[in-house]
Amino acid sequence: MLKFNRKINGTHGAITTLTLPWSQRTKSRLRVCLDNGEEAGLFLERGVILRDGDSLLAENNTVVRIRAAAETVSTVRCKTPLQLARVCYHLGNRHVDLEISEHQIRYPHDHVLDDMIRAMGFSVVVEQVPIEPEAGAYGTTHGHHHE
């Protein structure tokens, strides 16, 4: 079994990909199945967050590229910065993982939260897409671009 113990820059030499949902991309110890079917284990430093496009290095120098899995998320589109701030404030008070971009917020789907946001006058779209939430005040910054 491959043992991946380090996050590295670049994807040069990646033999395959590893597709994981957000909940698993925040784990430092995890048994996984690579996209090519091979079993592997993650043995990463505590606090490492895996983002779409990151690469991992195994003990035997094998490289694998991380892919963010599509998962059920709720998306709220906002027309103004004030609307965006209001939605983020109310979801943040519930300690929800949020992907925030200039005109929209995404969070792991939860029908109770969807109802709360709708009651505030916003539309919620449930869709299957990858999610890249903020790392939080004490997490690792992710430095990627939202569209």
In the chain, the amino acid numbered 75 is T
Domain that holds residue 76: 71-129
Tokens encoding 133: 């939430």
In a structure prediction context, what are the per-residue pLDDT tens digits for the chain, which is 147 residues long? 999 999 998 767 778 999 999 999 999 999 999 999 999 999 999 999 999 999 999 999 999 999 999 999 999 999 999 999 999 999 999 999 999 999 999 999 999 999 999 999 999 999 999 999 998 765 554 444 443
Domains held by the chain: number: 2
Beta bridge partners of 67: 19
* Count of CB atoms situated within 10 Å of the CB of 39: 10
The CA distances from residue 41 to 5, 11, 18, 45, 93, in Å, are 9, 19, 11, 13, 35
Check which CATH number belongs to the domain holding 51 and give it. Answer: 2.60.260.20
Global pTM reads 0.85
Question: What is the distance between the alpha carbons of residues 98 and 121, in angstroms, rounded to a whole number?
Answer: 19
Q: Are 126 and 73 in contact (CB under 8 A)?
A: yes
* Residue 60 within any structural domain of the chain: yes
Question: What is the distance between the alpha carbons of residues 87 and 77, in angstroms, rounded to a whole number?
Answer: 10
